[in-house]
Amino acid sequence: MRVNARNIRRDARALLGTVRRLVCEHPVKRAEVMVAVAVLRREAARERLRSVPVTELKQVADGPFRSAPVHGAEFVTVADVLASTPEGLRLLRGIGPATAARLHGAAKRLAEAAGRAADRDIDLTRPELEPLLITLHWLVHVDLAHVEAAVERVPWLLRDARWWPVLPPYGRRRRAVAELADLVRRADVEPPEVTGEEARRDYEGRPDDYLAVLADVAGVAYGGEAAQGFLPGEAAARVAAQVLHETHLTVPLAGYQAFGARFAIARHRAILGDGMGLGRTLQAIAAMAHRRLDGVTHFLVACPTSVLPSWVRDVEACSSLSPHPLHGPGVVAAVKTWAATEGVGIVPLESLPGLRVPPDLYVGTFVLDEADRVKNPGTARARAVGEWVGRAGKTLFLTGLPMRERPECFRTLAGLLGAAARPEAAVLGSRAFRAAAAPVYLRREQRDVLKELPDIVRVDELVAFSRADRAAYRRAVGAGDFDGMRRAAYAVPKTSAKLRRLRRLVVEAAAEGLETVVLSGFPEVLGTVRDAVAVPTAAIAEPPAPGPAVAIICEPQPDRELEARAIGRLQGRDGPLLVHRLVAPGVDERAGGDPGRIIEDEQARWGVG
């Protein structure tokens, strides 16, 4: 028994030595991973920047600069600038110290963004990454907390189990030796030495463990799925884990829409930038409806006047929340009613600076639709938005325009949300930009969620009359001119609310590379559209352009079968067809009804005829 005790103490001391060695090696292994990843990022960044023109630095630089001297010195790409130094750039004619520092600093920031964007392309099975994979294997198999906990009592037990000529049959020393023997037997702290092939097989069997170590040690963020906007994996997992209460929703959500609503809930302040036809409004309503179950009673939406009727309809149709339009002659009374009850106040963006709400009214969520209209942070509109961002519990900006192509707008919106924004990754592509902007920005496009979309996505755009539209409609009603009533919304193109909405839809479609076909039963309306927007148009009875993705119907057709046939001729492409019907008050809402009866009813409503 005496020899056994001695051997057990010896093994315990060896175990203690192994643990101390592993504890010392752990930061060394982490440093090796960080160095390896830094090299990969640097090499990937330089390779990527060899294809980025030097003129793109204008989007990244902290101030203006002239690119002509740089071009003259044959600095063609950002990689050329990065390979130089500020001192070297100062040797160029026309480049002073400030400009040289600005240029090189912009190139370095872009290189950092390119390196981070390359994270998703790190393939640990590549032969040249075998040393990195072996190091990761070590870190995966050495759980430092477990290792230290496994021998925490060894020094104390060694003291109690020190050698004694005769080991008593009972007492503290015998118990100490027994516990030491048990610890040595159960301890599994030494990671096995492996070859590159063995490490690769282990990685293929448990990739998430290796990627988690990469994320923890070097901040490597692998992109999530397209339907999750390519959020980094860890961020996507946090959003997916967010609870979403649908008690106050009255319509089902698609999977990507539920993820978008969770994103809005999980982020205190965020931008939802989904492409057209994907249901940004519904996701915002879902986020508000979730908070209603938490006891929040008041919400505020600011949107362009032309889409205010659509917001009122959608809040009412998609949730149990009550919409309160806050505009027009009775706005003061409407605000009082909203404040005294509960629901969603909906105010025209143009009227937001003048909105007067009781100072003690708590607004749980503030939603800004078409947020890209707030471009200049110095305007009264931007200041009003900033005040509501600070006042509301949560804020959600909505925009269908890709922020990658509008870095200055993104800076403004992120600034209003209190988020740091250096959109350097914008010049590196949509996916890289979305991953870089993930803390505040989520965007999915049609191609990202094709499996969840129906063949035809129909949206009735309720468009409120402008003052000139209303006057033209009233004249047509008084004259009993049915066709004139249908065309009235385009009578004054400069102030036409329908044309304004149509232009917005065309811009959003073009931003996603989608073709647009504009349909109307009136050649004169098509002429007005052709003058207002630079898109091909086709009369509803004419052959459509090939391969459209978006159809905009200028006015609902009395013959719904004719409208259905026109839409049917536009199908047959890969992916869904988005159909937007522009619906104004009055005759548009009663398309398909008896013209004579519609005229009589409208004349009575307007008091004319």
Condensed to tens digits (0 to 9), the pLDDT of residues 139-182 reads: 888 777 666 665 666 565 665 556 554 444 455 666 666 655 65
Distance CA 543, CA 565 (A): 11
CATH number of 52-119: 1.10.150
Which of 465, 454, 405, 432 shows the shortest CA–CA distance to 279?
454
Q: What is the pLDDT of residues 85-102, one digit of tens each?
A: 877 777 776 677 877 777
Q: Between the CA of residue 133 and those of 144, 193, 201, 217, 603, what are the distances in Å? A: 19, 12, 10, 13, 79
Indicate the SS3 state at residue 347: strand
For the cut 70, the answer to whether the pLDDT of residue 337 exceeds it is yes
Where is pLDDT greater, at 408 or 157? 408
Looking at the chain, the whole-number percentage of residues with pLDDT higher than 70 is 80
pLDDT of residue 150: 59
- Report CA torsion sign: 326, 331, 333, 339: positive
Q: Delimit the CATH 3.40.50.300 region(s) of the chain.
A: 454-606
Output the six-digit token pair for 180: 């030491």
User: Mean pLDDT over residues 535-564, rounded?
Assistant: 68
For the cut 90, the answer to whether the pLDDT of residue 321 exceeds it is yes
φ, ψ at 559 (rounded to 5°)? -95, 95
Kindly report which listed range (162-171, 315-324, 380-389, 486-495) carries the lowest average pLDDT score: 162-171
φ, ψ at 537 (rounded to 5°)? -125, 155
Indicate the SS3 state at residue 197: helix
Q: Which residue has the tokens 């148009």?
A: 537
pLDDT of residue 571: 76
pLDDT of residue 156: 54
Contacts within 8 Å (CB) and 24+ apart, 559-564: 559/592, 560/591, 560/592
What DSSP state is assigned to residue 120? G
Intra-chain end-to-end CA distance of the chain, in Å: 117
Indicate the SS3 state at residue 506: helix
For the cut 60, the answer to whether the pLDDT of residue 458 exceeds it is yes
Do 125 and 211 form a contact (C-beta atoms < 8 A)? no
For the cut 60, the answer to whether the pLDDT of residue 522 exceeds it is yes
In the chain, what is the greatest distance between 2 CA atoms, to the nearest angstrom? 121
Which of 343, 533, 422 shows the shortest CA–CA distance to 109?
422
pTM to 2 decimals? 0.73
pLDDT of residue 197: 92
User: What is the number of alpha carbons within 13 Å of residue 225 lying toward its C-beta?
Assistant: 11
Kindly report which listed range (35-49, 192-206, 244-258, 337-351) carries the lowest average pLDDT score: 35-49
Q: What is the CA radius of gyration of the chain?
A: 33
Q: Which residue has the tokens 């050649």?
A: 523
Edge-to-edge, what's the strand order for the sheet holding 550-553? 456-462, 577-583, 550-553, 516-519
pLDDT of residue 245: 94
pLDDT of residue 455: 86
pLDDT of residue 166: 46
User: What is the number of alpha carbons within 13 Å of residue 504 lying toward its C-beta?
Assistant: 23
Q: Which residue has the tokens 């009613």?
A: 337
Do 307 and 501 form a contact (C-beta atoms < 8 A)? yes
Length of the chain: 609
Topology of 454-606 in CATH? Rossmann fold (3.40.50)
Average pLDDT value over all residues in the chain:
83
pLDDT of residue 178: 64
Q: Delimit the CATH 3.40.50.10810 region(s) of the chain.
A: 226-447
Edge-to-edge, what's the strand order for the sheet holding 298-303? 323-325, 343-348, 298-303, 365-368, 394-398, 269-272, 441-442
Topology of 226-447 in CATH? Rossmann fold (3.40.50)
pLDDT of residue 165: 43
Q: Delimit the CATH 1.10.150 region(s) of the chain.
A: 52-119
For strands 343-348 and 441-442, give the pairing: unpaired
